Structure 1
Amino acid sequence: MVKKATDHSLPGRLYNMTEREKAEELGMSTSWLQKDRMKVKPEVDFKRFGGAIRYATDRC
């Protein structure tokens, strides 16, 4: 069974940052990002590709 990508994303953004990279950029912990993803409306844009989580970069 193929899972669809979870769409917590904005059109035209590039999603290629790992959890660790995004946490470092934001000055937050990886556990904070993990908890944020569980929210109905997460604060940080991300996409899920199977088991991989990728965050939006600010640069396109």
Structure 2
Amino acid sequence: MAAEETDQPQVRAPAVDGAAVNYYFPVEIEVVGDADDTLVHRVVAEVFAEFDRELASRQ
């Protein structure tokens, strides 16, 4: 069975010569209980702020 036909992640060689490397991974956040739009937007903003902070620390 080819790697594309499995559910296993594919590992590729690191980029060379300044090529861009893009990582894609799903993120699922479940808010339990009633959540108005303000809370949902706040949670989304905080999650993306943490992603940005973490990625910036690795450059």
TM normalised by structure 2 equals 0.25
The higher radius of gyration belongs to 2
Higher relative contact order (CA 8 A, sep 6+): 1
Q: Higher strand share goes to which structure?
A: 1
Q: Higher helix share goes to which structure?
A: 2
